Amino acid sequence: MSGREPQSGGLPPRPGHTFQGNHAGENAQVQYGDRYNISRENPLSLLPFATQAPFNSYNRQHEPACLPDTRVDILQEIYDWADGKDKEDEQDKRCIFWLNGLAGTGKSTISRTVAYKYHEQRRLRASFFFSKGGGDVRNASKFFTSIAMQLANNSYVLVVDALDECEGDNDVRKILELLAEARSLKTDVLLHNVPLPIVNHDISLFLEYKLGRTRQEWTLRADWPGEVVLRRLVLHACGLFIWAATACRFINEGKEFAEGRLDEILEGTSFDGTPEQHLDQIYLTVLQRSIPNTFRAAEKLKLYTRQRHILGSIAILLSPLPVASLAKVISTPTTQVTQTLERLQAILDVPKDIASSIRLHHPSFRDFLLSKDRCKEFWVDGKEAHQTLATGCIQLMSQTLKKDICEMHAPGSQASQVDSSWIEKRLPPEVQYACLYWVQHLQRGGSQVHSSEETHRFLQAHLLHWLEALGWMGKISEGIQAILILEAYVSVHESPDLHAFIHDARRFAIYSRSIIEQSPLQSYCSALIFAPEKSIVRETFEECIPSWIERKPKVQAHWSAVLQTLEGHLAPVTSVAFSHNGRQVVSGSNDSTVRLWDAATGAPLQTLKGHLRSVNSVAFSQDSRQVISGSSDGTVRLWDVATGALFQTIKGHLNSVTSVALSPDGRQVISVCGDSIVRLWDVTTGALLQTLKGHSSYVTSVAFSHNGRQFVSGSYDDTVRLWDAATPAPAPIQTLKGHLRTVTSVAFSPNGRQVVSSSDDCTVRIWDAVTAAPLQTLKGHSRTVTSVAFSADGRQVVSGSNDSTVRLWDVAAGVLLQTLKSHSAAVASVAFSPNGRQVVSGSDDSIVQLWDAAPGAPLETVNGHSDFVSSVVFSPDTRQVISCSYDNTVRLWDTATGVLLQTLKGHLSYVTSVAFSHNGRQVVSGSNDSTVRLWDAATGELLQTLKGHVRVSSDSTVGLWDVVAGTPVYVHGGHLRVTSVAFSHNGRQVVSGSNDSTVRLWDVVTGALLQTLDGHLSWVSAVAFSPNGRQIVSGSSDNTVRLWDAATGELLHALNGHSGSVAPVAFSPNGRQVVSRSNDSTVRLWDVATGALLQTLESHSDAVTSVTFSPDGKR
């Protein structure tokens, strides 16, 4: 089990303290913690290092080691193990010593003692002491890199302490797995439980030593406390060193009254109960005694409240703070904090150095304090304490942060050139703490954040100040992580304005991360002026743009689909991939490097160097712990993601390795290298297992299926081949033919039932992996398609091309969903994120880009109309969109590129409605100029102008027109004022809506009125036929949508939910759903059969004017 010091409390056993060694002895110079020699010339200095982690770091200098003649047996056993002396029972083969025991039994003190001994002998390999609330040492984020930096000094014993205090079960599991693999198959684990008599003996020695010092310091009687009392204290300790240590500190605090405090402990404790109960009693005694009985009841209540406030804050701090800094964060006078802490030194480590941080004497006190059952009247509500700290952090930042807080007076000032002491002066510990942890406290506090609260006000006033401060601190990536947490935490429904602001802040921070990281004052310059015109952040802080920037660059109105641009490679990027946990991106380049990036923040994490020529292919292992790369130097290399270490080089290729794939179990690699052979390798040994022949020309691409039972290959022979990987000698089982030129990329769908391939023939093809039948041919790219990949749900495919675009496709329908353009050169590689919300691409322009591929993300923002856009409609083949506007024009757009194809001019007033003919060759438009105009969709030529009765009429009639002749066929009367008309899909009927609250159904051939549908309580603003002509939907200013039977006129459903006038309405292509929009700024989706509301879309910030389905019904 793990705990911390040789004085720790009774909690259920959990894993904790680990020593690792190789039982040999060579000397090597090591340095740790704050004394670590870090320089810019030393490549190790680039690794993130937790300075508080080593046993002898500055902040741990006063933590105790084992007293002489205590823990003798266990220490000797550890020394014998580490020195390899116990060879007869093969103890020397065990490279992990696992020290197990209750919290408070002294494991951390034993760990420090062992670390100190081997450090003195220059044989300590590394040490890492976890600690809750310890900043960098409270989780595993810097564990591996800190260990790696120490391991580079080439020594022999590794000490890991308090693993149970590492936040994140997955991180703990990963550490355990890696430790278990440290000696490959020679690893074993030893669990050690120290017998209670030995523990009691050591506690007795400890008590005798500590109380002896108290006796001398306060000149107590010579026989104090006596053997009998010592034995009673040992029994009360129940084997917990932390009980003994707390008791001794409490007694010593009594000074000349130490004897009375000892009696108080003995009188208040029985020999019954569990170790935890005994520990609770000593903690309660300390807390109760901290407020003297000389105070009146009201005064004591006030002091208890203050004490809970201060203790609770210390207990839940995410990184320790000095007294003065803590006082500012919790808005309490420093004198009050100091006075409170002076009475609690039995349970707190309060340093005499004002710059040093306050710490709990043992983490078991935190568990006690936050447990209502154990702590009773002193209980601290953890959520409430987090809320208090969150508020304190926000208030402190609001009072402190400002523009140019470091007084540089030069926007180009680089953070790396400013002395750290100056930054710390301008941003003292409490401000840095608030900047780093306010969001985490907000989240852990669990309170709902609404737009009216100070979080929104803080962001609106100080977002840029906060980002600037994080830039000076070198923590901009942590700030982006905080924004991501905040965005997920704030409810879009309860706080739409705040959520919108945070979402925009995320885009702003990610987009500007690099420049703010380098020059924090660019938050107010480059970051703002290059943000989109309609960015909420830009609009909020427009006045912060310096006046000397007279000409601002022309930028787009809204954020594009590009989320991040990752720069660092010095040559074209050849291959990219997401890790399977979605946290990282890997890229390979012609600059011979492999780079790892943080997928959330875009921060560079590692640069893996070793290849001698271009890196052509990269991929993650299934567990995201390894990266594989193939290179033109003829090697395949495997790298450790956490440390960047190279742990396998596979040699044997005669040419450039152009494609590699790692099997899901991580045991095998397949590769191709410029010939017609696929090679299969053993990862552990690097041995060649198989050479697989079948293609008649060079193989270009390989990929494993997700279950590892098959792999697929593409070739210059224009074919795709499927191979059985489950047999000892894999053989081709299918040959997929159809491409007209070289196959450039292949991939399996997640379920293994489909294969996607790309080719020099500019197409993407989807195949049935079982039957080899072609399922879809996706056309749209204008040059070679270089890379393809499936989304995690198998519903979409992404492709990259030499035409510099990334395209998203619907697998089932075979239609283009999005065209993503931003790269300035050929796109060489693409991949989906595991959640399908992002796409990563690598290009010959040497950059990696992350794109928003989430459903509902803007596919293309097109500008052209100069006034209100009143309606938009897809063409039947979805390749075009038509829009009309109050600027009197109709415009046709290409959906793939966003390019304006035609501007149709002729109307004399605003255009209210447009529609495509069913063959997509003609466009009809209706206008307030009382005309309907018919246009040629290909040329933009005006074909007919229909005058007389318009589609939307104010003379109470409905007019039908002959499209060829341009003459009226019928004029239907009866309405007071016609507001909306629609044809049935067979062209035989017309439905009309009016301000007389009725819907009317007409026969096109005879002009007869077939039905009058009554039910709406106000004017009918929109009507539409179902695709089969059997149903009618209508929307009205009575805020309802109604479904009718077209044959009988019967009301089928009245759909309630909108809070504003409804128009327009439309059926889905399959007739199963209806979409409606309303002046309440929402779009709602309804089930036709049941009338149930399926979805409410609330992303619009103003009234919605038009809705329609795409022909495939997917948009």
Peptide bond into 6 cis (omega under 30): no
Handedness of CA 464, 465, 466, 467 (dihedral sign): positive
What confidence score (pLDDT) does residue 1080 get? Answer: 75
| CA nearest neighbour of 337 among 296, 297, 307, 360 | 307
Question: Among 818, 811, 812, which Cα is nearest to 851's?
Answer: 818
Question: In this predicted structure, what is the pLDDT of residue 113?
Answer: 80
Average pLDDT on 985-991 reads 72
What per-residue confidence (pLDDT) applies to 449? 58
Most confident of 3-17, 828-842, 895-909: 828-842
Determine the Cα–Cα distance for residues 1091 and 583; give it in Å rounded to an integer: 41
Question: For residues 305 and 135, which has the higher predicted lDDT (pLDDT)?
Answer: 305
Give the distance between the most distant pair of CA atoms in the chain.
Answer: 123
Topology classification of domain 614-845:
Methylamine Dehydrogenase; Chain H (2.130.10)
Decide if 435 contacts 397 (C-beta within 8 A): yes
Placement of tokens 């034993």 in the chain: 110
- Position 595 scores a pLDDT of 98
- Cβ atoms of 117 and 110 within 8 Å: the answer is no
Instruction: Choose the most confident range, by mean pLDDT, from 134-138, 247-251, 339-343, 581-585.
Output: 581-585
Q: Give 215 or 65, the one with higher predicted confidence.
A: 215
Q: For strand 763-768 and strand 754-759, is the pairing parallel, antiparallel, or unpaired? A: antiparallel
pLDDT in tens, 437-485: 999 999 999 866 544 578 999 999 999 999 999 999 999 999 999 999 9
Asked if pLDDT for residue 544 goes beyond 80, the answer is yes
- Which pLDDT band, with edges at 50, 70 and 90, does 895 fall under? confident
Q: Tell me the three state secondary structure of residue 235.
A: helix
Look at residue 482 in the predicted model and tell me its pLDDT.
Answer: 96
How high is the pLDDT of residue 103? 56
**Which residue bears the tokens 């030393």?**
42
Domain with CATH 2.130.10.10 in the chain: 614-845, 957-1115
Residue 649 pLDDT level (bands cut at 50, 70, 90): very high
Identify the band that residue 687 occupies on the pLDDT scale cut at 50, 70 and 90.
Answer: very high
CA quadruple 262, 67, 54, 62: dihedral positive or negative?
Answer: positive
Residue 426: band (very low, low, confident or very high) from pLDDT cuts 50, 70, 90: very high
Name the helix (H) or strand (E) containing 914.
Answer: strand 911-916
pLDDT beyond 80 at 24: no
First to last CA, the chain: 55
Crossing angle of helices 258-267 and 275-289, in 10° steps, is 140
Q: Please report the pLDDT score of residue 189 as a whole number.
A: 32
d(CA 744, CA 718): 9
For residue 942, the 8-state DSSP code is: E
Return the minimum-mean-pLDDT range out of 639-653, 757-771, 882-896. 882-896
At what angle are helices 429-445 and 382-400 packed, to 10 degrees?
140
Judged against a pLDDT cut of 80, whether residue 19 lies above it is answered with: no
> What tokens appear for 166 in the block?
């590492």
Cα gap 661→620, rounded to integer Å: 9
If 0-12 CB within 10 Å is exposed, 13-18 middle and 19+ buried, where does residue 565 land? middle
β-pair type (157-161, 124-129):
parallel
pLDDT at 13: 32
CB neighbour class for 898 (10 Å; exposed up to 12, middle 13-18, buried from 19)? middle
Of the listed ranges 47-51, 587-591, 1046-1050, the least confidently predicted one is 47-51
> Of 350 and 856, which is predicted with more confidence?
350
pLDDT at 949 (0 to 100): 32
pTM over 0.75: no
Tell me the pLDDT band of 945, cut-offs 50, 70 and 90: low
Where, residue-wise, is CATH 2.40.10.480 in the chain? 862-947
User: CA separation (Å) from 1030 to 569, 1033, 1071, 1074, 1113?
Assistant: 60, 10, 10, 14, 19
* CATH code that applies to domain 862-947: 2.40.10.480
Q: Rounded to whole angstroms, how far apart are CA atoms 304 and 310? A: 10
Whether residue 197 contacts residue 164, with contact meaning beta carbons closer than 8 Å, is answered with no
- Condensed to tens digits (0 to 9), the pLDDT of residues 594-615 reads 999 999 999 999 999 999 999 9
Lowest mean pLDDT among 123-132, 142-151, 998-1007: 142-151
Which H or E run includes 848?
strand 848-852
Q: Are 1049 and 1085 in contact (CB under 8 A)?
A: no
Cβ atoms of 78 and 31 closer than 8 Å: no
Lowest mean pLDDT among 247-256, 538-547, 691-700: 247-256
Structure-block tokens of residue 398: 């609001």
In total, the chain counts a number of residues equal to: 1115
Helix axes 258-267, 227-237, angle to 10 degrees: 50
pLDDT for res 783? 97
Higher pLDDT, 67 or 221: 221
Report in angstroms the alpha-carbon separations of 305 from 302, 308, 315, 442: 5, 5, 15, 22
pLDDT at 281 over 60: yes
CA distance 334 to 329: 11
Average pLDDT over residues 749-760: 96
3-state secondary structure of 588: strand
In this prediction, residue 862 carries a pLDDT of 67
How many whole angstroms separate alpha carbon 671 and alpha carbon 678?
6
pLDDT confidence of residue 289: 86
User: What is the Cα–Cα distance from 117 to 71, expressed in whole angstroms?
Assistant: 14
**In the structure, what pLDDT confidence band is assigned to residue 643 with cuts at 50, 70 and 90?**
confident
Burial of 380 per CB tally in 10 Å (0-12, 13-18, 19+): buried
State the pLDDT at residue 683. Answer: 94
* Nearest-angstrom CA–CA distance, 191 and 19: 12
How far does Cα 448 stand from its chain's mean position?
A: 21
Summarize the confidence of residues 257-264 as an average pLDDT.
88
- pLDDT at residue 187, rounded to an integer: 32
Task: Mean pLDDT check: name the lowest of 20-34, 268-282, 821-835.
Answer: 20-34
In angstroms, the CA 652 to CA 629 distance is: 15
- pLDDT exceeding 70 applies to what percent of the chain? 76
Say if residue 354 is exposed, middle or buried (CB neighbours under 10 Å; 0-12, 13-18, 19+). exposed
pLDDT recorded at residue 480: 96
Q: Are 1004 and 991 in contact (CB under 8 A)?
A: no
Torsion sign (Cα): 717, 723, 725, 731:
negative
Residue 401 pLDDT > 90:
yes
Q: CB under 8 Å to 84, separation ≥6 — which residues?
A: 23, 24, 91, 92
Whether the pLDDT of residue 963 is over 50: the answer is no
Give the pair of three-digit tokens for residue 962: 């002959």
The dihedral built from the CA positions of residue 653, 659, 662 and 663, taken in this order, carries a sign that is: negative
- Determine which helix (DSSP H) or strand (DSSP E) holds 96, and give its type and residue range: strand 96-99
Task: Tell me which range, 268-272, 785-789, 1090-1094, is most confidently predicted by mean pLDDT.
Answer: 785-789
Please give the backbone phi and psi of residue 1032, each rounded to the nearest 5 degrees, phi first. Answer: -130, 140
Phi, psi of 868 (to 5 degrees): -50, 125
Class of domain 292-343+347-380 (CATH, top level): mainly alpha
- Location of each CATH 1.10.10 domain in the chain: 292-343+347-380
Q: Give the residue, 508 or 916, on which the prediction is more confident.
A: 508
CA triple 299-302-306, angle to 5 deg: 140
**Tokens 């299934």 sit on residue:** 622
Q: Can you give the C-alpha Rg of the chain in angstroms?
A: 36
CATH topology for 957-1115 is Methylamine Dehydrogenase; Chain H (2.130.10)
pLDDT at 376: 85
User: In this predicted model, which residue has the larger pLDDT, 756 or 68?
Assistant: 756
Q: Which amino acid is at 535?
A: S
661 bridge partner residues = 670
> What is the Cα–Cα distance from 9 to 162, expressed in whole angstroms?
13
Question: Apex CA 142: angle with CA 138 and CA 145, to 5°?
Answer: 150
Mean pLDDT computed over 255-269? 84
Q: What is the pLDDT of residue 835?
A: 92
Q: Using N-to-C axis directions, what is the helix angle for 454-473 and 496-518, rounded to 10°?
A: 10
β-strands 699-704, 710-715: how paired? antiparallel
The CA–CA distances, whole Å, from 302 to 78, 289, 291, 340, 706 equal 50, 15, 10, 12, 63
The pLDDT of residue 621: 96
Confidence check: pLDDT of 1106 > 80 = no
Amino acid at 944: Q
Residue with tokens 């805020």: 1039
Q: What is the pLDDT of residues 84-107, one digit of tens each?
A: 665 555 444 566 676 666 555 566
pLDDT at 241: 83
